[in-house]
Structure 1
Amino acid sequence: MNIALPVAIEQQMQTRKKQFAYDEDAYLIGKGGYTTAAPYTLYDAIVALALGKNVLLKGPTGAGKTKLAETLSYLFGQPMHSINCSVDLDAEAMLGFKTIQEREGKPVIEFIPGPVIQAMTKGHLLYIDEINMAKPETLPILNGVLDYRKTLTNPFTGEVVKAKSTFGVIAAINEGYIGTVPLNEALKNRFIVIDVPYIQGDALKDVLRAQSILKDHSLIDRFVMLSADLIVQVQSGQISETAASIRALIDACDLAVYLPPLRAIERGIVEKLEDDREKAAVRNIAETLFE
C-alpha cells in the first residue's frame, strides 16, 4: 500500500494486527487486493475505520466495494463477519438463534450468536453487504450498534451486548438498483459515506494482471478499453451497471485464455444481462475492439 498515513492511524493499524494475529477467527481476515486510481478512497476509509466510525461504501455494482472491505480487514489484520442483505433478512440471521443442545444427557436451550453479536463481542469487523436490500423495518435493531453506544439488547436472551473498542462496521450500498429502498436518514447519518468509483485505466490494468489468469498484455489493454466504453454507456443510461462489473470483466479475461475473446465476453458479460438491447450494445462495442 503506497499511502502515507498519519502516525496515529498507522499505530492503530499495527496494534490491531498484533492483537488479532493469533485470533481463532483469523481465517476471516480479508486477502486485500483493492486497487483504485483514486487513492483517497482507500485512505479515507482507513482513517474513518481507525477513528471508530462506521463506513458506508457507495458505488455501482462491480466497482470493488466488497474487495475494498476485504482490503480494510487485511490492512487492520482484523477478522470480518458478513451479512448479505435481502428482503428475507431477519433478526435471527443478524443476531443468532436459539437451539436445543444435549449437555450431560439433558437437553438444554443454547443461543448461537450470529455475525453481529460475534463481531461485537470479539471486537471484529462487521460487513453488511447491500444494506439497502433489507426491509426498512429490519435494520432499526442495529441503531444502538451503529451509534456511540455500540450496544444491543439481544431480543432472544435479554442480554445487553456491549461491543469491544476495536469493533467496526463497514456497509455497502448500490443506489437505484432493482429491489433496493432508500436508506433511512437516521441510519445513513450513522455512517461516514465514501464513494467507490469504477476502477479504470492503469489501475484496472493492475487489477486484471493480479486477479486474472490472462497474461497477454495486448489483450488486457483491449479489455481495459472495453471496460472504459462500457462505463460510458452505463453513465449515459444505455446499459445497466451489471455490464461494467469488474467481476464480470475478470471472468471474461479468464475465459479469453482458452476461448476467442468475443466468445469469452459473451459468456462472461453479455449473458449476464437480461435486456436484448443491452446485449446487442455490448456485442457491438466488443466487436470494434476484438476480431
Structure 2
Amino acid sequence: MSTQSIAALFGLSGVPAEAVVQVFDDVSNPYIPSVNSDYVFRRDFVRELIAFLTFPSGDSLYVTGPTGSGKTSGVTETLGRMNWPMQSVTAHGNLELNDLIGHYALVSRKEGEQPSMQFVYGALATAMREGHVLLINEIDLMNPAELSGLNDVLEGRPLVISANGGEVIKPHANFRVIVTGNSTGAGDATGLYQGVLMQNMAAMDRYRFTVVDYPAEADEVAIVTKAAPGIVPTVAQAMVKLANEVRSAFVGGDNHPGQLSLTMSTRTLVRWAKLTLVYRKAEKPLEYALQQSFLARANEVEKVAVIQIAKDVFGQSWA
C-alpha cells in the first residue's frame, strides 16, 4: 500500500496537506469499481467513510439518505480511488442469506466441457475470503429475519458454509460491510418508499450510521456543470434552485404538510441537464427535458405547480 493526499485524491479544498489515506497499489483487480473523473466529493462523507474503512472497530457502516442523494456513488467512487475491490448486491424482499453465501450449480471449467456440480461462492463469501468490501444496496427492503443471519459475520466471526461440507471462511483483514438505505432501519414513516421494512433492532445495533443528504447548492451546481458540459452556469444555478424549491414543497414545514408527493433528486437533476442539451433545438428545451426526466411522474396538479415554480425561477429564459 502507498500513502496519498486526501485533498489531491478526492479533489477536496480546505483539507490539510498532512491528511493522507492508505491506497492499495494493485490496480489490476477486476472488482475495483470504475471511477468518474468528474465526480464531486463531499468532505464530510469522505471523512466518515475513510474513518470507517481505516478504523472499523468492529462496526459495519449504514449509509442513509433520500433517493438519488449519492449514497452508492459516494461509496463506489471512494473505493475506486483507493483501489479497494468491492462485491455489490441490491437487496429485495426475496433476497436470502444463502444468496449472499453461495449455492451449488452446474459449471463447466472450459467451454464445451461437460459441466459438473460445483459450489459457486456468493458476494459475502467472496468478500470475506478476498478482503473486499461487501456493499448491499437498499438494505431496508430485505427480510429482517434473513438480514439478522449476518449478525455473526458482522461481529467478526468466521462464516461456516454447511452446504459446502462445513467450509470455514475467516474474515480477511480488509473485509468490510457497507449497506445503504432510504430509512435508518426503523421503517418508512413517510410512506414514500414502497417495500421498506422495519429491521431487527439487534441487527441495526451492529452499524455506525452516516447520513448523505442532497448536496449544498454550490456543490450541486458543480455536479450539474460537470455532468452536462455545455450547460450555461446561470442555467445550472437556476436548475438547482428549482430542485431545492421542489424539495421544500415536498417536505413541507412544521405547521403544514408537503404540497408535492415527489421530490427532485440529484440524479433527476443531472438527467434533466443532460436531456436539455440533447433537446436544445426543441421549442422549449428546458420544459421538454423536464417532462421526460421528472414531470411525467407527477399528477396534473403537481405538474402545474412545478411549471409555475420553474417560470418564477427562470423568468424569461424558461421559454
The equivalent of 1:268 in structure 2 is: 293
Specify whether residues 34 and 132 from structure 1 end up closer, same or farther in structure 2 by C-alpha distance, changes over 3 A only. Answer: farther
Give the TM-score of the pair, scaled to structure 2.
Answer: 0.79
Equivalent residues, number: 280
The equivalent of 1:100 in structure 2 is: 106
Residues 31, 70 of structure 1: 8 Å contact kept: no
The equivalent of 2:255 in structure 1 is: none
Specify whether residues 34 and 81 from structure 1 end up closer, same or farther in structure 2 by C-alpha distance, changes over 3 A only. Answer: farther
Flag as ranges the 4+ runs of structure 1 deviating above 6 A.
103-106
The equivalent of 2:278 in structure 1 is: 258
Matches within 5 A, 1:94-243: 94-101=100-107, 108-149=116-157, 151-157=158-164, 158-175=166-183, 176=188, 177-236=193-252, 237-240=258-261, 243=263
Quote the Cα distance in structure 2 between the aligned partners of 1:108 and 1:172: 37
Compute the RMSD of aligned alpha carbons. 2.4
5+ residue gaps, structure 1, are: none
Residues 127, 170 of structure 1: 8 Å contact kept: yes
Whichever structure has more helix as a proportion of its residues is 1
5+ residue gaps, structure 2, are: 1-9, 253-257, 280-284
Once the two structures are superposed, residues 19-57 of structure 1 have per-residue CA deviations (whole angstroms, 9 ceiling, x without a partner) of x4232434x355472433xx2222112111211242111
Give the TM-score of the pair, scaled to structure 1.
Answer: 0.86
Matching residue's letter, 2:48: D
Identity %: 24
Specify whether residues 112 and 219 from structure 1 end up closer, same or farther in structure 2 by C-alpha distance, changes over 3 A only. Answer: same
Residues 54, 170 of structure 1: 8 Å contact kept: yes
Once the two structures are superposed, residues 78-137 of structure 1 have per-residue CA deviations (whole angstroms, 9 ceiling, x without a partner) of 121111111121234322221123579776321111111111111011111010011112
Residue 197 of structure 1: how far off its partner (Å): 1.1
Quote the Cα distance in structure 2 between the aligned partners of 1:60 and 1:184: 21
Quote the Cα distance in structure 2 between the aligned partners of 1:102 and 1:71: 34
1:43 counterpart = 2:53: no
Quote the Cα distance in structure 1 between the aligned partners of 2:307 and 2:142: 34
Q: Which is bigger in relative contact order (C-alpha 8 A, separation at least 6)?
A: 1
